Amino acid sequence: MNPYTLPATTHAYLERSAESLREAITTSEVPARYAFAHVAALRAAAALLAARAAPATTTRRRGQKNAWVLLAEVAPELSEWAAFFASGASKRAAAEAGSVRAVTEREADDLVREADRFLAVVEQALGLAPHVSFEQQIPWRGGAAHSMGRGGVRSA
């Protein structure tokens, strides 16, 4: 895919995804962290859909499909990602509704990492250079410790 011919909406969704990811990284509230991370992934999926999806040619209205179903159809190579994020939609809804027991801190942190990876996968699928991961940007969140090998040498 030629990154120079991507629709403006694709770039807008990517920026909004990164913005949601930044919010997820910086918030101290666990439910909000989970919700922001899930929304970041959703916006990354929307970016890919904006770039790849063809408009419907029929006027007959079919059942509506959510973004994760559409993503699996438009980009079958990302269907595992779609299934993963689709499975967290109910937890995100509970977190957004204010449930403090909807997700654990570990689940929220894990989802932030996965949303970060997913955004990079989408960027690469669109022919763009992937962003610098949040773990590299914010070493106090555990990134530096996890990416260092024996003897303090950064592992690949």
Question: Per the structure, how many domains does the chain have?
Answer: 1
Contact between 43 and 118 under an 8 Å Cβ cutoff? The reply is no
Which domain does 10 fall in, by range? 3-53+66-152
Residue 58 lies in a domain: no
Least confident of 1-10, 63-72, 85-94, 122-131: 1-10
Share of the chain above pLDDT 70, in %: 79
Mean pLDDT computed over every residue of the chain: 84
- Which H or E run includes 32? helix 30-52
Handedness of CA 7, 13, 19, 24 (dihedral sign): negative
Residue 60 lies in a domain: no
User: What does the radius of gyration of the chain's CA atoms come to, in whole angstroms?
Assistant: 17
Which of 53, 35, 136, 133 lies closest to 89 in space, CA to CA?
Answer: 35
Domain containing residue 48: CATH number: 1.20.120
Maximum CA extent, the chain: 63
